[in-house]
Each structure stands twice: as structure tokens, then as C-alpha cells.
Structure 1
Amino acid sequence: MGSTKHPKDESIPFGAALKKEFPFDPQFRNLNHGSFGAAPRAVLAKLREYRDRADAVPDIFLRYEYPRKLDESRAAIAELVNAPLDTVVFVPNATTGVNVVLRNLVWDADGKDEIISFSVIYGACGKTVDYAIDSGRGLVSRRSIEIEYPLEDDEIVDAFRRAVETSRSQGKRPKIAIYDTVVSQPGVRFPFEELTKLCRELGVLSLIDGAQGIGMLPLDLSALDPDFFVSNCHKWLHVPRACAFFYVPFRNQHLITSTLPTSHGYQSQGVSRPNPLPQDGTKPAFVNNFEFVGTLDNAPYLTVKDALAWRQNVLGGEQRIIEYLWTLAKEGGKKVADILGTHVLENKKGTLTNNAMVNIFLPIKTSPDTAAPSLASDGQIVIPLQDANKAVTWMLSKLMDEYKTFIPINGHAGRWYVRLSAQVYLDTEDFEWAGHVLKGLCDRVGKNEYTE
């Protein structure tokens, strides 16, 4: 990828030239930005400033200065996603937001409520659904929609409509649906806009897990109008870990009575307990509730406005960043697939790769009928099914120990694939390098090195 011009005609090259802005080990290539993100040195310096101020004058900062600075970051996020200021608060991560919603909802005593999700739900969120079922004393059940890629968006939307219709035909009540903006594994764009419209049409609450969202997708929450939305800022917005914004429109804030854990902002219906923290009577109870959730290091929340300023002033703004990420993921993924002799996971309309991650199939498959690695007629390496975990573990260890990188290797619909993340400090050379490294490791698997 070549350099592009800043709006002020200053040349700000994306790619290798930007790596110095991040505190990476010089030998490390961060090709898995989608898991833990990365913050630039400039934003990390602001993080240290906030922490130092908290240590210098703890009470003054935490009780009085922190809420004002938190409001500045809330305002910055609200403007970016086009949401009213007092519909946006912060939580540590997207999984926390999902937990907050499911632990606050009240299930009907008739036991007919259902939680609808998809088989590609993020693991921790899937387990949160499990917990809601297990702790619900029979008041709520689950309905999972099986997804096997590649699929067209309308097929997913149709499957959701059928699931709701089936639920109701069986005497159930589909109360809330959980779905992604971009699925984590495989890293593909999900039709969340269409699903949100359908949820409104069908009278189902929408809970969008946008863990892979802000910073790599354009978001307009006023237009989208979900019932609940949470997105990690530390993944794609260059904010230090751990930070996510949590959006709840005014119409639903009465449903979210407790933070996680419950803290000073909770207002019981039966007992009155004092709140020892300063209260701003101009803010909704929802905002006051999430302002202080125990004594935690919430300094990353304060850096959101700084990260957005850095992205605007140094990188040229959100549109330029997103365009680069999507283009790099698409072009880089194709180069990796060409090197491996495979293809990118994509559908006919090309919507799955409309994000900053790309999934490329490996030239490896497993078979229960083979006793040792062999080469199939289509050129694929075939290994014994029982060796799958051992081979993947071996490949990951070699990626880390020999090549100083990490690339997720997973399976979907019987195929092995890798997920690569595009980012402003990477370019197509990084993807080509990854392709050759993966090709070499696949060849070594074919030679049975993973059993040595």
C-alpha cells in the first residue's frame, strides 16, 4: 500500500513508517490486532498522565476531576457514533456490556422468554447466555441459529426471521437477540444493520456485540437504532486496554438498573442507601450509575478523546483509516491466498470482507481415514483427524518462537483458516511475509515435523 496525502497536504505514510509510533518489540510483527488492539506511544503517554494525577491527588482526581474528564471522552464517542451524549457510558470490554444487559433483564414468570443467538457468537458471550439460562430457574431458554460460511447476508437475515417465527409457533417469546457487527472467528462482517431493522419489525430486543466495531466500521447509532450496543475501543480505536463504550437509548435505560458489579449508583426499590460520591443532578441515573463502579483503573476511558485526536491529527481521520484497513485486508488477503494456493473466505456479494480482517484457508485438511500426513490429488495436505490439535499447537509455537508473530488458526465448516488483521502500521509486504511463513509451516506439517 502506498502513501496517501493528509488533508493539509502533509505526507503521512501508512505501513512500516508508522510502526515507530507504537511500542512494539522491534522483532515482533503484530498481525493479530483484532484480538487485543494496540495503542500508540502518544496515547499511552496520556494514560500515564491520568494515572500519575490519580496517584498525586487521589480524592481530588477520582471524586471531582475524573467525572469531568470522563464526560469529555463520552462526548467524543457520542459525536463519532452520532448518539446523544447521555446514551453513552464506558465499561471494560464488550463482554462486560453483554453481561450487564443479560443480568439486568427480567424474565417473565411464565417461562416463555427466549434468547436468540447465532452459532458464531463469541465464546464468552455464548457462555454468558449459558449463565442466564442456568441461573434463570427455568424462566428463559435459548435458541441458536446455525451458521456455516460462506453465506449471503440475506440468508442470515432469513434464518433469523424463521427462528423468530418458529419460536412463536412453539409457544415461546423471543425476547432478545444477540449478534455481532463483525464475527470474531471467522472474522467476517455480519449483517447487523438488516438484523436490527428486523428486530424492530418483529418486536425483539437487539443486543449488538460490536467488539470488532468502532474504529474499523463507520457507525451511526441514531440511524441504526439498536436496543443495546457495545463496542471495544481498545481493539480498533487505538485506545489502551481495557475500554469499551456501552450505548443504551433513553427508552431502555430503565431496564439497566445495575452495573457489573453493582456499585454506589444502584437505586433499590425497597432500601435507601447513601451514595458517598458527588452527584450531578443534571445527568440521568443511567449515566451516574456507570460513572463509578468500584475503585478500578479506569484511566483508559479518559484516553478515548486523546486517541480520536491522534487519529484525526496524525492519521488523517476516520474515513481515511477505514478505507486503508479495508483495502489492505482485501488486497493482502488475496496475496496470502495466492501464495498458499487457496482462497479467501468470501460470499458472492463480497460483503464478508467489508471490515479490517480477512480469513484465508490453509492448504491443510484432516481425515479420519489417514494414519500419517499425505498429499491429496488437489494438492492439499491431509493429516490424521486426531492430530489436528497437535498440529495447530505446533504451528502456533513456531509462529511465536521462530517468527516472532501470532496468527490465529481456526477451523470452520471442516476447513482450516487463518485470520489476519489489517492496521495502519502494516502494509502488503507484511501480508506477503505472512503468506510465505504460513506456506513454509504447512509444508513442514506435511513432512510430519509436528510429531517430532
Structure 2
Amino acid sequence: MSYENNTKLLNDPDFKVVYRDFEERLIEKIQKYTISNAKDLYPRLKTKHYLAHGSYGLCPDVLLNCYREWSLDIEADPAVFYYRVLYPYLIRSIRVLADFINTKPTNVFLVPNVEIGIASVLQNYSGRVCCFDLSYQAVVNQLEKFDLVKIPLPALGKEAILDTLREFLQNNTVKLGIFEHTTSPTGIVMPIKEIIEICKSFGVDTLIDGAHGIGMISLDFQELKPDYYTSNFHKWMSSPRGCAFLYVDPKHTVRPLISSWGYKLGPWNEFIWQGTNDYSAYLAIPLCIKLFKQLNYIERNNSLARWTGNILSRAWNTKTLTNDYASMVTLTLPKNLKADFDLHDALYDRGIQVPVFVFRNVRMMRVSIHVYNNKNDVVVLGRTVLELYGYPSDYPGYSALLEAKL
């Protein structure tokens, strides 16, 4: 292994993407799929109506097979693999990913998950940081060691969010703002480009928690221009788990949590080797992107989620939490006409997996839409909630669901 050679390869203008034999075979399989038969990619899925993709993702067999082939290749001769095979293919993954999100390979670092990406950035900061009061708790826990200010968001519309942030920064001095691109569990797509621009105008660095970013929202870092952005591949790109990336604006320097053989050889060399791990999920990135481009599902998923919000809010006589959502829509639940019970478990017993939670003292449900979901999943969910909550058969909501165009 030569870090000097690896760095040259990262910037080599003549670099070509080379696929191994097993990858070529898997690419042939990928080319047989469209949205119409995409559910066949997930033969292991046992839950009939799985509407919880946003929770942990779901990896299709073709990408699981890619992951396994790489893992098996390691065992053929670990010494050869780690010294001669691994690094060129890691560089291939980084270069393919960088092209996909429109940035330079030197701005992209592979990390196991978003929380590690965030922790890597935070170790360079001290002093006051800020986030919104609906930020993901696991991220907020990392911020407790700082002088943390939570910005209350009483209203969740785009202009209200931006006005609240602008007013806060006019009256407070902070070094770093940590903001979710899509909130969890509420599924709100934040006006992140405008948030970044406002922070820049006040000299505040931005770290974007894009756990639900890549694969749900088109990302173009030449346009977005955050200071830092980290996103999970296992969510909406459906990769094997343990695969995420950290984007860093070249004006910043970030080091990994572990100092290994690349120490003091520049950030990129410090990140690429983090001990004897199984890097197979990273190596599957090119096929993951191949599958994404084959199915081209962002607009389709977002459109179906919009339909979902409309039909369920009408059937339940409730409303969506916000109009700013993509592939996940959060709705208030209808009034329960029966004694209280665990709705999530009751739905699961009927073959439906979907998260139910309380947000600001209101019981809500977050419905995720991915390539294996269709309108029938949504109609079944809508009808089952009404039945479990005790609504009589002549309730108008049932008619709204029956009239839905499947």
C-alpha cells in the first residue's frame, strides 16, 4: 500500500471505472428492473405492506450479493486483498460518488454512518453551536458537550423557519449550526439551501445532517455549498448498512476519529484506512448508484408520497404535518373511538409496518414510500387505521379510499 500512489489515483484524469466479473453479472441483473417490477428486488421482505423504509432502509438482493462477493473475496487471500486490491476500488467508489453528487473526489470521505461523520466534524469545534429544537436526538446528544442553543420552531412552514433562523442569528453569536436536511421522525424537508445561505451571511459554518438526503433528494454540492454534509447510503440508496459519506468544503480540514497509518498525510489519506474493517459496503457504492440510475425513482417516490398525504388526510379527516416533504409524509392520526392501544403493534399484526409516534403532544404517523411501495399499500393502511380505531362502515373515509385511483 502506497498512500502517495493512492492520492495520485484519486486525481488521475485518465482514471476509468473497472468492474469485476461478478459486478458485470450483477449489472446485467440490474438492467432487467424498472419501477414496475422493482419489488422483485426485495424477495426477503416478509411484511406485506412495508411503509417504514425511512427507519433503517432496506437492501435489495442484488446489492446484498455485491456486498457478499466482496466479503468472500477478502477471504481468498486477506493479505493480497488489503495490500493490492482494496485501495484502488475504494478510490473508484469515492470517484463515482463524487461525480454523482457533483463535487471533487478530494471533498468526499467514506464513513460508516452519519453519526460518525458528524462526530468527525465536531472534534474540530469548541464554543457555541446551534440547532433547531426538533433535531434528531442522537445528534443533539453529541452537541451536549458544547455551549448548545436550541432554536425553537413554533411554526414549520418554510418562511417561518427562515425568519426564525435569521432573527436568532441577528441576536446570537455561534460558530456552527447543525441542521437536518430532512427531519426525523417528522419527515420535514427543510429549506436547507436558504439555511446555508443565511448562515454564511452571518459567518456561521453549517454541518448538514443529511441522513435522509441522498436518494430522496437530488444533491448537487456545486449548488448547495454547505461547509459539511453527511448522508447515509443505506437509507434511500438502499445500500448494505455501514455505508455513508462526509462532504467537506475544501476550505476546511477534518480528521477522522481514529488516527491510523495515514496520519499527517492529509485528511483524505487519514480517512481511507481505519483499521482492518470489512469495507465491502463501501465497495458496493458503484453498483448502488447503477441501480439508482436504472430505476430513477426520486420523482416517482416523492409524487406517490404526495398522493399518500392527500388521500390519507382526506380519508382520516386530518392533515399532514407540513407541505414540505419528499418521500416521507407525516400525518396526524384520526381520533381513536375505542380504548387506547398500541396502534403500531396492531398494524403490524395485520401485515403493516409503519412508525407511530407523538410529536408536540399529537399522535402522528410517518409513511415512507420507496420503489417497492404502491398505492394499494397506502389504501390498505388508511382502511386498517379506520377499522382499528372503530369507525363504522358508513364513515365517509372508507368511500374516499375506495374512490382512490389505484
Q: Does 1:124 align with 2:124?
A: no
Equivalent residues in 2 for 1:248-327, closer than 5 Å: 248-253=248-253, 256-257=254-255, 259-267=256-264, 285-313=266-294, 315=295, 317=296, 321-327=297-303
The Cα offsets for residues 236-294 of structure 1, whole Å up to 9 and x where unpaired, read as: 012111211110121102xx23x123433333xxxxxxxxxxxxxxxx71111111112
Q: Which residue of 2 aligns with 1:157?
A: 162
Q: Does 1:413 align with 2:355?
A: no
Q: Does 1:56 align with 2:76?
A: yes
* C-alpha distance in structure 2 between counterparts of 1:176 and 1:115, whole Å: 5
Equivalent residues in 2 for 1:337-376, closer than 5 Å: 337-346=313-322, 350=323, 352-353=324-325, 355-364=326-335
Give the aligned CA root-mean-square deviation in angstroms. 2.0
Q: Which residue of 2 aligns with 1:29?
A: 49
* C-alpha distance in structure 2 between counterparts of 1:336 and 1:158, whole Å: 31
Q: Which residue of 1 aligns with 2:385?
A: 438
Equivalent AA in structure 1 for residue 347 of structure 2:
L
TM normalised by structure 1 equals 0.76
Contact 1:18 1:424 in 2 (8 A): yes
Give the match's secondary structure for 2:188.
coil
Query: How far is the alpha carbon of 1:154 from its aligned partner?
Result: 1.8
Contact 2:338 2:390 in 1 (8 A): no
Q: Which residue of 2 aligns with 1:198?
A: 198
Q: Which residue of 1 aligns with 2:149?
A: 143
Contact 1:213 1:232 in 2 (8 A): yes
The Cα offsets for residues 307-348 of structure 1, whole Å up to 9 and x where unpaired, read as: 1112223x1x3xxx11101101000222222232212222xx
Identity, % of aligned positions = 28
1:166 aligned residue (152, 161, 171): 171
Give the match's secondary structure for 1:104.
coil
Q: Which residue of 2 aligns with 1:279?
A: none
* C-alpha distance in structure 1 between counterparts of 2:362 and 2:172, whole Å: 31
Q: Which residue of 1 aligns with 2:4?
A: none
* C-alpha distance in structure 2 between counterparts of 1:303 and 1:47, whole Å: 6
Structure 2 vs 1, CA of residues 414 and 148 (structure 1 numbering), >3 Å: closer, same or farther?
A: farther
Give the match's secondary structure for 2:142.
helix
* C-alpha distance in structure 1 between counterparts of 2:274 and 2:124, whole Å: 16
Equivalent AA in structure 1 for residue 263 of structure 2:
Y
Give the match's secondary structure for 1:360.
strand
Equivalent residues in 2 for 1:173-252, closer than 5 Å: 174-252=174-252
1:65 aligned residue (72, 77, 85): 85
Query: How far is the alpha carbon of 1:299 from its aligned partner?
Result: 1.0
* C-alpha distance in structure 1 between counterparts of 2:387 and 2:259, whole Å: 51
Q: Which residue of 2 aligns with 1:42?
A: 62
Query: How far is the alpha carbon of 1:27 from its aligned partner?
Result: 4.2
Q: Which residue of 2 aligns with 1:171?
A: none
Q: Which residue of 2 aligns with 1:114?
A: 128
Contact 2:47 2:353 in 1 (8 A): no
Contact 2:263 2:269 in 1 (8 A): no
Give the match's secondary structure for 1:330.
helix
The Cα offsets for residues 291-311 of structure 1, whole Å up to 9 and x where unpaired, read as: 111222221111111111122
* C-alpha distance in structure 2 between counterparts of 1:294 and 1:426, whole Å: 39
Mean alpha-carbon deviation: is it higher for 332-341 or for 34-43? 332-341
Query: How far is the alpha carbon of 1:64 from its aligned partner?
Result: 2.6
TM normalised by structure 2 equals 0.84
Q: Does 1:88 align with 2:108?
A: yes
Unaligned runs of 5+ in 1: 1-9, 108-112, 134-140, 169-173, 268-283, 365-379, 445-452
Structure 2 vs 1, CA of residues 163 and 67 (structure 1 numbering), >3 Å: closer, same or farther?
A: same
Query: How far is the alpha carbon of 1:403 from its aligned partner?
Result: 2.1
Contact 1:120 1:185 in 2 (8 A): no
Query: How far is the alpha carbon of 1:442 from its aligned partner?
Result: 2.7
- For these two proteins, the number of residue pairs brought into alignment is 361
* C-alpha distance in structure 1 between counterparts of 2:47 and 2:305, whole Å: 22
The Cα offsets for residues 7-57 of structure 1, whole Å up to 9 and x where unpaired, read as: xxx996525x32221133344432111111112211111111100011111
Unaligned runs of 5+ in 2: 1-30, 392-406
Contact 1:148 1:413 in 2 (8 A): no
Q: Which residue of 2 aligns with 1:4?
A: none
Structure 2 vs 1, CA of residues 57 and 148 (structure 1 numbering), >3 Å: closer, same or farther?
A: farther
